[in-house]
Copies of this chain bind each other. A is one copy, B any other.
Amino acid sequence: MKYDLTKKPTRGAQRTLASFSTTMINLLSKEPFEKISVNKICNISNFPRATFYNYFDDKFDLVDYCWYVIAQEIEVDKVTELKSNKTLIIYFDRLYDVFKDNQPLLDNILLYNDFSGQLVNSFVNYFKNTVQEILEQSIDYSKTGLPVELMADHCSETVILVLKWIFLKRHDADKKLAHEYLEKLLNLDQFI
């Protein structure tokens, strides 16, 4: 990403970022990711290509920014409840809500893109990394006798696995059932 998201954006930059990302999200509901070119995005958004490349490295970069926008729904109140061992469940629940809110978008995306293709992969990866960063700092894995990073990796993969199962592979499950899956897969009682 060429644009620095930490500094607060000017009004113009906000407009530009919003324009590109909504165009991308709209296109994702209409055609496969390979068919979406930077040219097309720029024509629809009415910006020249040069502007696109002022903000993003390529279309993968933009699509990652889209996931970032979606992920904002969770991360607003990031501070609360850290350092507790319940972090995992709390984060799982938040992601569950975000995925549920975006179910229509996900359905459309899967209409045009392979489950194991680049696009769905980038989506899944984005959220996996989100979870992993949180878990590495906030969970006490000392009871497991395994390396912290390995364990954090395993937990975040499992959280995402269950969400994939429910929202991408469409085996609908309410939060209660989802928790049951998560607890069985992770053996949660061993370290919570």
Contact = CB atoms under 8 A, between A and B. Distances in A.
Given A157-B157, A158-B154, A171 B147 contact: yes
Interface in A143-192: 144-147, 149-151, 153-154, 157-158, 161-162, 165, 169, 171, 181, 184-185, 187
B165 A161 contact: no
Given A161-B154, A165-B153, A185 B125 contact: no
Interface string A105-141: 0000000000010100100010001000000000000
Contact of A125 (B116, B154, B158, B187): B116
Give the most central of A118, A150, A187: most B CB within 10 Å: A150
Contact of A150 (B116, B121, B153, B181): B181
Given A116-B129, A147-B171, A171-B147, A154 B121 contact: no
Given A118-B118, A121-B121, A187-B187, A153 B146 contact: no
Tell me what chain A mostly uses at the interface: helix, strand, loop, or mixed: helix
- Interface size on A, as a range, is 20 to 34
Give the most central of A129, A145, A158: most B CB within 10 Å: A158
Nearest to A162: B150
Give the most central of A125, A145, A153, A169: most B CB within 10 Å: A153
26 contacts: A116-B125, A116-B129, A118-B118, A121-B121, A121-B125, A144-B184, A145-B184, A146-B181, A146-B184, A146-B185, A147-B171, A149-B165, A149-B169, A150-B162, A150-B165, A150-B171, A150-B181, A150-B185, A153-B161, A153-B165, A154-B158, A154-B161, A154-B185, A157-B157, A157-B158, A157-B161
Interface of A: 116, 118, 121, 125, 129, 144-147, 149-151, 153-154, 157-158, 161-162, 165, 169, 171, 181, 184-185, 187
